[in-house]
A and B are shown apart, each in its own frame.
Chain A
Amino acid sequence: MKNKTPVGLALFALLLLSTLLAIPSSRAAWYTPPTEELKFPMMVLGWDDWSVHSGEAIAEQLKNVGIAIEVVPTDDSAMYPRLYDRDYGIEEMSYGYSPYPSHMYYRFHSREDCAQCGQDWSFRNATVDAVIDEMLKTTDKEKARELMWKLEQMAAENVPYIPLFVADEYHAFRKEWTGYTVMPAGPLSALNWLTMPNIYSTAGKKDFIIAFNNEPETFSPMAATTGRSLFYSMIVYDSLLAFDENLVPIPWMASELPEVSSDGKTMTFRLNPNLKWHDGQPLTARDIVFTFEYTVAQEAVGSNSGEIIKYFESGEAVDDLTAAIHLKEPYVWAVEAFGTHYIIPEHIWKDLNYDWEQPLVQTSPNVAIGSGPFMFDSWIPGEYVKLVKNPNWWMTGHPLIDTLIFRKIDTESARILAIQKGEADTERYSVEPAFVEQAKANPDLVVTHTVDQWDYLVAFNNKSPPFDDIWVRKAIAYAINKEEVVKRGALGFGTVTEGYCPKSFYPFWSNPNVLTYPYDPEKANQILDEQGYLDIDGDGVRELKSVVAEWEQQRQQEQQALTTQYMVIAVIAVIVIIAAAYLVYRRRKKA
């Protein structure tokens, strides 16, 4: 007991040393491409039951075409570094959709093939790049759509990944509430501008309580990146445009859709007259221009900022109600990106540095000034955020409720109980699948249904054998029964996606005649047979092409060797027979 300190010291030193040693080795390669047969581990996201169970369903289906998959549930802290390092062969989990299909750029352009970039699958194709580049520059939506169709077809032909399904979105409201809009990503989301100003209670209730799983991590519209903080920013800070229920842009603070110049480099927004900030100051075109200048100058890190920083060149307030925005180059979704950027007041922000270390200043009543349908009232950390109606909002008579409260309730079971009991009126995110039936059965609740933003897919490392062989990818695409995957992986709470820009989420952009891979295990088997992936040892798993080829070569060599042996034997036999015949003949002659 007396000399504990030196022993403790030594122990600590040892521990420290071992942790230091562990740092470089924690990024050692995990995945080795198969060398014998079509057998590999598939990473799925461990905490996401849907990802895990979908993976298991896929593994079983691929067994039928002689491909052996071991599902490896992986923590995201291990999974993302492996994806960035391309230290994997095949993986399955959910990605996400934006309100406009910018993922068609992020997921297929070679520029996005880098660590922490848009695509994790090392897909590079110069022809595809050219089509994307052209599409990004096309401001005419009809023409852009033609290119998008072409692009979707090319993506389907190359199968860098296989789309599986999008998660379904279920929302439970207490039944007295109505007036909400059900659209992709749900009736309450950062893509839905329509619900909050229009929702009302048939029972005359004036305060609406939304249960959140956590509070907004920031109240700054310039730093918002998660669904919670974007939702807050959307209703406190207004935007020029909004989306309708088909995710098509509609005028909002602007009185009409912007005029786009013929070279596609200038957009002119016209504002509704009499726009006001929450503190009563008039909102003018100068504020619009200021917002974009500020975003670029301060390199704000909010979600919408990326495209603004990339394309904004300059802006001018032509008069109080007209703002002209000049772009560095034309951009297909410039109207959407600039139109849905949250507008901030110049008279407050001009002296505020975008100091990311002080974002909570945003909750001080003098700074939390926007122009949206609701105004910031109070925030009790860990409990709730209270917003009140903006009586001077441009849409006269709206919003129809007086108070809007975001209440933090940590678990889904407690949220559902709170809604059933009336402590909350709905929740911010989709009802978790395990609770959907319970919510539907409750007479006090109404459950809405649409598609969510999360799309599940099987991705390949397109550079790693055998997935560098397009035929393997195609065969796997044919071998997956997506209906079954939804049924087993998502308990049926998903919508199958055939294309890369699916109709269920992007009705405008989706290609109706795109190449699809209907479930056809026989065709998958046939492709693999034709391509030379054969099961030569009869264990139910196909061998790699190279192994089959080697085996074939060996068999030929053996056959050749055998033929030589037979020849030698035949020659010897002939000689022996001739010799024997000769001997017999001589003996007869002698006799």
Chain B
Amino acid sequence: MRDYLVKRGVSALITLALALVLNFFLFRIMPGDPTRTVVGDFRVTPEIKQALVHQFGLDQPLWVQFVLYLQNLFVGNLGVSFQYRGTPVTSIIFGRRLFNTFILMGSSMGVALIIGVIIGTIAAWKRESKFDIGAVVFSLVTYSMPVFWLGMMIILVFGYYLDWIPIAGTITVGMTYSNVFEYAADYLYHMTGPFVTLTLSFLGFYFLIMRDSILDVFTEDYMLTAKAKGLSDRKILFRHAMRNAMLPMVSLLAVEVTYLFGGATMTETVFSWYGIGRLIYEAVVMADYPVLQGIFVVMSVLVITANFCADIVYAFLDPRIRY
């Protein structure tokens, strides 16, 4: 077991190092001119543009920029943003945006996962029943629906015509709160739209994966053994089938954990939800290298850690896995 952990750990570290190096070059081969996109006004003279290029450090040779990047990374400095005129990237990422994205993605993914796993298990158990067919059709429809369209429809119907939910933002404009609970209530009220949209869009995926992997498990020999031992249906289903069917779910979650951080650009844009997904989009459009780099550094750390954890969880879930 210790050998296994050390091996996994070293390989995770190597991957991380390579990802950090790649991260630097990835955005610089994008054709583009940060000064042109940052400057939206036409009275800006060439001298001013030169000054901007100098401020951005883009007049330095590429390898100097690279060494600076590594040095700064080592002390946890992700640089300053171009489009937000020198705001440190760490304060852009680790602030309201990250909080908003975490809350929204965490809750909608969590709820979708729980509902998806439960419904998936039941549907597989009652295969080809009306419930199963209904659930499959429903999840195929929500899964294949474009998420931005769903979001816009929810805004139009529930936000505009029915006036149940707000159209944009995370809090009411200009409102002052007397305590935290008032703030939380206002926040959750604003989250309703994006939360429902995202839950619906994630639900189908988890459901289908869970249903398929339970059906797979049903054909295994140990299921027959369990039945022969005279175990109850409930025990067979939840103790034996579900535990084994969770394996693909774990590796799936290890990959999906990036969403927690990366957010859902489409949904965030449609609901003007101030999060990381929207930030990535803006940073790409504006050729804001430091912000992109920062996000991807955090993301690669997150994915690699999550995969490392998934490897460990695997070993516990399935006694056969030992390297």
Contacts and interface: CB of A to CB of B under 8 A. Distances in A.
Interface of A: 1-2, 4-5, 8-9, 12, 15-16, 19-20, 22-23, 26-27, 75-78, 80-81, 84, 95-98, 102-103, 106, 112, 114, 116-118, 207, 209, 214, 217-218, 220, 223, 225-227, 230, 299, 301, 303-307, 309-310, 355-360, 380-384, 386, 403, 405, 407-411, 413-414, 417-418, 420-421, 423, 453
A9 B18 contact: yes
A1 to B, nearest CB: 8
Contacts, number: 191
Contacts of B155: 413-414, 417
B152 A413 contact: yes
Contacts of A116: 33, 35-36, 46, 49
B22 A16 contact: yes
B31 A26 contact: yes
B25 interface: yes
A428 B22 CA distance: 40
A420 to B, nearest CB: 7
Contacts of B169: 382-384, 407-409
Given A225-B39, A359-B87, 15 more contacts: A5-B11, A8-B15, A218-B85, A305-B48, A306-B45, A307-B45, A380-B171, A382-B169, A383-B171, A403-B174, A410-B278, A414-B168, A417-B155, A423-B167, A423-B173
A417 B160 contact: yes
A421 B48 contact: no
Closest 4 A/B residue pairs (Cβ): A382-B274, A77-B32, A306-B45, A357-B86
Nearest to B45: A306
A81 B42 CA distance: 17
Contacts of A383: 169-171, 173, 274
10 contacts: A16-B18, A80-B33, A225-B40, A301-B51, A305-B48, A306-B43, A310-B45, A409-B272, A417-B155, A417-B160
Interface in B144-159: 152, 155-156, 159
Listed residue (B41, B95, B97, B270) with the most chain A CB atoms within 10 angstroms of its CB: B41
Interface in B40-70: 40-49, 51-52, 55, 62
B39 A20 contact: no
Contacts of A384: 169, 173-174
A333 B43 CA distance: 12
A413 B156 CA distance: 9
A15 B25 CA distance: 10
A358 B25 CA distance: 27
B126 to A, nearest CB: 36
B33 A304 contact: no
A209 B174 CA distance: 10
A591 B199 CA distance: 121
A96 B37 contact: no
Interface of B: 10-11, 14-15, 18, 21-22, 25-26, 28-33, 35-49, 51-52, 55, 62, 80, 83-88, 95-97, 100, 152, 155-156, 159-160, 163, 166-171, 173-174, 268-272, 274, 278, 282, 287, 323
B274 A381 contact: yes
Nearest to A213: B272
A303 to B, nearest CB: 4
A370 B48 CA distance: 24
Contacts of A77: 30-33, 37, 287
B30 to A, nearest CB: 6
A116 B35 CA distance: 9
B41 A225 contact: yes
Majority secondary structure, A binding face? mixed
A276 B87 CA distance: 31
A385 B79 CA distance: 26
A409 B170 CA distance: 11
B11 A356 contact: no
Contact of A19 (B29, B46, B47, B55): B29
B41 A227 contact: yes
A12 B155 CA distance: 44
Nearest to A114: B46
A77 B52 CA distance: 17
Contact of B22 (A19, A98, A207, A420): A19
A333 to B, nearest CB: 10
Contact of B86 (A26, A304, A356): A356
Contact of A303 (B44, B159, B167): B44
Contacts of B274: 381-383, 408
Listed residue (A2, A225, A230) with the most chain B CB atoms within 10 angstroms of its CB: A225
A19 B37 contact: no
B52 to A, nearest CB: 6
Contacts of A15: 22
B31 A97 contact: no
Contacts of B168: 407-410, 414, 418, 423
A385 B178 CA distance: 20
A414 B30 contact: no
A223 B39 CA distance: 10
A288 B170 CA distance: 41
Nearest to B274: A382
B24 to A, nearest CB: 10
Contact of B28 (A23, A78, A230): A23
A225 B38 contact: yes
Contacts of B62: 23
A304 B166 CA distance: 38
B35 A381 contact: no
A359 B48 contact: no
Contacts of A98: 42-43
A531 B134 CA distance: 73
Contact of A223 (B85, B282, B287): B85
Given A114-B46, A417-B167, A411 B36 contact: no
Contacts of B269: 410-411
B84 A217 contact: yes
B46 A226 contact: no
A95 B42 contact: yes
A355 B80 CA distance: 12
Listed residue (A9, A103, A217, A218) with the most chain B CB atoms within 10 angstroms of its CB: A217
Contacts of B86: 355-359
A177 to B, nearest CB: 17
Contacts of B96: 381-382
A358 B272 CA distance: 26
A205 to B, nearest CB: 13
Contacts of B41: 96, 225-227, 230, 303
Contact of B270 (A1, A299, A411, A421): A411
Nearest to B41: A303
Listed residue (B18, B45, B47) with the most chain A CB atoms within 10 angstroms of its CB: B45
Contact of B40 (A102, A226, A356, A357): A226
Contact of B37 (A76, A310, A380): A76
A346 to B, nearest CB: 23
A358 B91 CA distance: 12
A175 to B, nearest CB: 18
Contacts of A301: 48, 51-52, 55
A418 B270 CA distance: 13
B33 to A, nearest CB: 5
Contacts of A227: 40-41
B122 to A, nearest CB: 34
Contacts of A78: 31-32
Given A81-B33, A217-B83, A304-B43, A5 B278 contact: no
Contacts of B163: 421
Contacts of B160: 417, 420-421
Contacts of A75: 31
A573 B271 CA distance: 94
A359 B22 contact: no
Nearest to B18: A12
Nearest to B50: A116
Contacts of B85: 217-218, 220, 223, 356, 359
Contacts of A306: 43-45, 47-48
Listed residue (A22, A77, A220, A358) with the most chain B CB atoms within 10 angstroms of its CB: A77
